[in-house]
Chains A and B, each alone.
Chain A
Amino acid sequence: MFKVFFIFSMMIWLATANDAQGESFKSLQKKMEKKRLSKRYTSYQLYKNGHFFSALNYLKDYYKKAKKTNKKDPEMAKLMEVLLVKAGTESLGDLPDHMIKGINAPTVALILARRMYYKKDYKRALGYLAKIPSTHRLAPDAFIMRGMIAYEKKDDYASLSAYAQCSKITMSLKGGTKSAPLKRYYDILSQGCLINQARIYFKQKKFKKSLEFYSLIPKTSYHWPYIILEKAWNYYYLKDYNRVLGLLVTYKSPLLTSYFFPEAEMLKALAYYRLCLWDDALNVIKRYYSIYKSRSSKLHTMLTKHKDSHTFFFELVNTPIEKNEKKNMFIRNLVVMVKKKVKYNLDQFSYMNAKDEYYKLKKEPKGKLRSYGMIHVREDALYRKAKINHYTKTTFFNFLNDIYLFSQRLFTLKLEILSSQRHMMYAKKKFEKRKRGDLSEVSRQSDEYFFGFDGEFWADELGDYSFGLKSQCQQESSFERKGEE
Chain B
Amino acid sequence: MSRVYLIIFTILSIGLFSSNSFGKETVIIKYKKYEKFDLGELEIKGSIIAPGDLSTSNLDVRKFSLQIYERKKFDDHMATQLRSLR
Contacts and interface: CB of A to CB of B under 8 A. Distances in A.
Given A199-B77, A426-B61, A416 B85 contact: no
Interface string B51-69: 0000000010101111111
A232 B65 CA distance: 24
Contacts of B82: 117, 144-145, 148
A203 B73 CA distance: 5
B83 interface: yes
B24 interface: no
Given A416-B68, A426-B59, A141 B85 contact: yes
Interface residues of A, number: 40
A148 B76 CA distance: 12
Nearest to A267: B71
Which of the listed residues B63, B79, B83, B86 has the most CB atoms from chain A within 10 Å of its own CB? B86
A423 B61 contact: yes
Contact of A88 (B63, B69, B73, B86): B86
SS class, residues of chain B in contact with chain A: loop
A341 B84 CA distance: 8
Nearest to A85: B86
Nearest to A159: B78
A412 B85 contact: no
Nearest to A423: B63
A419 interface: yes
A380 interface: no
Contacts of A342: 84
A343 B84 contact: yes
A420 B73 CA distance: 28
A148 B78 contact: yes
Nearest to A263: B71
B35 interface: no
Q: Which secondary structure dominates where chain A touches chain B?
A: helix
Contact of A270 (B68, B72, B78, B84): B68
Interface in B26-74: 59, 61, 63-74
Contact of B69 (A151, A266, A415, A420): A266
Most buried by B among A145, A273, A419: A419
Given A138-B86, A343-B83, A419-B63, A412 B78 contact: no
B73 A409 contact: no
B2 interface: no
Nearest to B84: A343
B86 A141 contact: yes
Interface in A303-345: 341-343
B84 A199 contact: no
Contacts of B83: 343
B19 interface: no
A400 interface: no
A81 B67 CA distance: 52
B13 interface: no
A270 B74 contact: no
Given A409-B69, A412-B67, A423-B63, A89 B86 contact: yes
Interface string A170-196: 000000000000000000000010011
B70 A270 contact: yes
Contact of B66 (A89, A196, A416): A416
A416 B59 CA distance: 20
B43 to A, nearest CB: 37
B18 interface: no
B21 interface: no
Contacts of B20: none
Contacts of B86: 88-89, 110, 138, 141, 346
A416 B77 CA distance: 28
Nearest to B65: A416
B10 interface: no
Contacts of A416: 65-66, 68
A233 interface: yes
Interface of B: 59, 61, 63-74, 77-79, 81-86
10 contacts: A145-B82, A148-B79, A199-B74, A273-B68, A412-B68, A416-B68, A419-B66, A420-B63, A422-B61, A423-B61
